Amino acid sequence: MSRVLVIGCGGVAQVAIQKCCQVDEVFTELCIASRTVSKCEALKEKLAGKTKTVITTAKVDADNKDEVVALIKAYKPDLVMNIALPYQDLTIMDACLEAGVNYMDTANYEPEDTDDPTWRAIYEKRCEEKGFSAYFDYSWQWAYRERFEKAGLTALLGCGFDPGVTQAYCAYAQKHEFDTIDTIDILDCNGGDHGYKFATNFNPEVNLREVSAPGSYIENGRWVEIPAMSIKREYDFDGVGRKDMYLLHHEEIESLNENIPGVKKIRFFMTFGQSYLDHMRCLEDVGMLSTSPIMFEGKEIVPIKFLKALLPDPASLGPRTVGKTNIGCIFTGKKNGEEKTYYIYNICDHQECYKELGSQAISYTTGVPAMCGALMLLTGQWNKPGVYTVEEFDPDPFLAALDRYGLPKKESHAPVLVD
Ligand SMILES: NC(=O)c1ccc[n+]([C@@H]2O[C@H](COP(=O)([O-])OP(=O)(O)OC[C@H]3O[C@@H](n4cnc5c(N)ncnc54)[C@H](OP(=O)(O)O)[C@@H]3O)[C@@H](O)[C@H]2O)c1
């Protein structure tokens, strides 16, 4: 028996909400709240008669802390699932602290306005101290640790697939496969084809900011930064086939470096097709990925927001995307004094996701772990006050839930390694 407030009703939230409604013995009451309430109403309608979960909807601007506090106080949820955008993470965390409720999200904080001088000063200091220049990092949310601990509340950060399941895979490898882990390669392959020359699989603004940033990885405890897309490898993915993949900065590298003792190297690779890369480079070269406002015919516009308006809505890609995703982690390390390797991953089929929930696999592979993370918190299987990333909890019940609710793991004890 639980009441959950979900904030956001985009591609990922729609999967998470539909999945919560499949587990209606736990998710007994759910409020779907977002900026555009018509999307919440439409989803409520779609679920009518298919679940015992009692669904209500609300309009909320999650950039406004007081609005979120008022909604939490009125609805009195056990958990707030933030599946809006990373820009809202801190306001929603503040609201959860003020109203006394547990919190979770799927992506770590980054500011919407990267020209804000106060934020920029802190960011530039962090770039220098840490050695990577992505706009997002954990420091903002880790700063809430003591406040959540003192309030006896839990905040679960980044519970999608990557970040999220990839960290549970690391915790699982550490618990069951290794005494010490030396290297972790996270491989994110999307072998799906939506037929468009250029489209992004989740929020275009967040996605393009992420992939156009310089790449970086951890080597011997230190960040190494490289120009965007300058390290390329080819890998033969189970269920997908051979794909080019590129080294990216990714948020879980930062927390894994803190939480996996003795790890020497952590890298993240994502596959991209040539057409995606050509379009992205061109858009970047002409300034369309810029987050800084410009004046256009007497009106202020932000180029990347204008681009977002032109691109297909990721939530609309479902019917036309065919193929599979394969996301997982390859480890090297030692067990009982012997060198060993291990690969744990999931394969997900775009069309099967569409048949089940009307979504493509990127939203599915993020929304299902969000539901499973919420399930862990609501059933008390993950329960410790403070602010935590996924690898800091027991991976076993979480991976068992993923097996059961649509993202089963596959394993190999003799994987091909990435050089
Ligand atoms: N961990 C992972 O593996 C992973 C993978 C993919 C995505 N993600 C994360 O998942 C989250 C959702 O992505 P998505 O693709 O579902 O995005 P999306 O389709 O753009 O949906 C975002 C939703 O948030 C709502 N929203 C935005 N600003 C809001 C505000 N100020 N107040 C209330 N609601 C607001 C939007 O409302 P409107 O309809 O009014 O715009 C929309 O319903 C993002 O944080 C993304 O980074 C994580």
Average pLDDT for 364-383: 97
Place of tokens 């890998």: 235
Residue 121 Cα to ligand 1 midpoint, Å, equals 27
> Measured between alpha carbons, how far is 221 from 199 in angstroms, rounded to an integer?
35
Q: Give me the pLDDT at residue 396, please.
A: 98
> Residue 143: pLDDT band by 50, 70, 90 thresholds?
very high
The pTM of the full predicted model, rounded to 2 decimals, is 0.95
Q: Is the dihedral of CA 232, 235, 237, 242 positive or negative?
A: positive
CA of 12 to the centre of ligand 1 (A): 7
Residues whose CB is less than 8 angstroms from the CB of residue 80 and which lie 6 or more positions away in sequence, other chains included = 4, 5, 6, 7, 72, 92, 95, 96, 101, 102, 103, 104
Mean pLDDT of the 134-146 span: 95
The number of the ligand 1 atom at minimal distance from the alpha carbon of 64 is 31
Report yes or no on 378 lying in a domain. no
CATH code at 345? 3.30.360.10
Pocket flag, ligand 1, residue 164 (CB < 6 Å): yes
Cα distance between residue 106 and residue 364, in whole Å = 13
391 domain residue, yes or no: no
Whether the per-residue pLDDT at 212 is higher than 90: the answer is no
pLDDT of residue 207: 84
Looking only at the bridges linking them, the beta strands covering 222-226 and 294-296 are unpaired
Rounded Cα distance between 106 and 53, Å, is: 22
Of the pLDDT bands very low, low, confident and very high (cuts 50, 70, 90), residue 258 is very high
Instruction: Give the number of domains in the chain.
Output: 1
Confidence bin at 209 (pLDDT 50/70/90): confident
Taking the centre of ligand 1 as the mean of its atom positions, its distance from the CA of residue 172, in whole angstroms, is 28
Asked if 330 contacts 185 with a C-beta cutoff of 8 angstroms, the reply is: yes
> Domain containing 290: what range?
165-358
Ligand 1: nearest atom to the Cα of 63: 31
Q: Provide CB contacts within 8 A for 241, sequence distance 6+.
A: 191
| Average pLDDT of span 393-407 | 98
* 49 CA from centroid of ligand 1 (Å): 26
Residues 61-68: contacts with CB under 8 Å, at least 24 apart: 61/35, 62/7, 62/8, 62/35, 62/88, 62/91, 62/92, 63/87, 63/88, 63/91, 64/91, 65/91, 65/94, 65/95, 65/98, 68/7, 68/92, 68/95, 68/99
CA of 206 to the centre of ligand 1 (A): 9
Chain segment 165-184, per-residue pLDDT in tens: 999 999 999 999 999 999 99
pLDDT digits (tens, 9 = 90+) for 35-59: 999 999 999 999 999 999 999 999 9
Q: What is the pLDDT of residue 193?
A: 92
pLDDT tens across 276-324, in order?
A: 889 998 999 999 999 889 999 999 999 999 999 999 988 788 899 999 9
Over residues 329-357, the mean pLDDT reads: 97
Bridge partners, residue 334, by sequence: 180, 339
Candidate of 6, 9, 12 to mutate for ligand 1, largest count of ligand atoms within 8 Å of Cβ: 12
On whether residue 248 sits in a domain, the answer given is yes
Q: Is 315 in the pocket of ligand 1 (CB under 6 A)?
A: yes
For the CA of 165, the closest atom of ligand 1 is: 3
In the structure, what pLDDT confidence band is assigned to residue 115 with cuts at 50, 70 and 90? confident
Task: Classify burial at 56, counting beta carbons within 10 Å of its beta carbon; exposed 0-12, middle 13-18, buried 19 or more.
Answer: middle
The protein residue with its alpha carbon nearest to ligand 1, atom 2, reads: 160
**85 C-alpha vs ligand 1 centroid, how far in Å?**
4
Nearest to residue 114, comparing CAs of 142, 138, 144, 134? 134
- What is the number of the ligand 1 atom nearest to the C-alpha of 162? 3
Instruction: Please report which confidence band the pLDDT of residue 113 belongs to, taking 50, 70 and 90 as the band edges.
Output: confident
Establish if 303 belongs to a structural domain: yes
2 within domain boundaries = no
Write down the pLDDT at residue 164: 98
| 92 C-beta closer than 6 A to ligand 1 | no
139 occurs within a structural domain:
no
For the cut 90, the answer to whether the pLDDT of residue 154 exceeds it is: yes
Q: What percent of the chain has pLDDT over 90?
A: 89
- pLDDT at site 211: 84
Q: Which of 6, 19, 34 to mutate to test the pocket of ligand 1 (most atoms within 8 A of CB)?
A: 34
Q: For residue 19, tell me if it sits in a domain.
A: no
Structural domain contains residue 210: yes
Determine the atom of ligand 1 nearest the C-alpha atom of 158: 1
Percent of the chain with pLDDT over 70: 100
Does 254 have pLDDT greater than 90?
yes
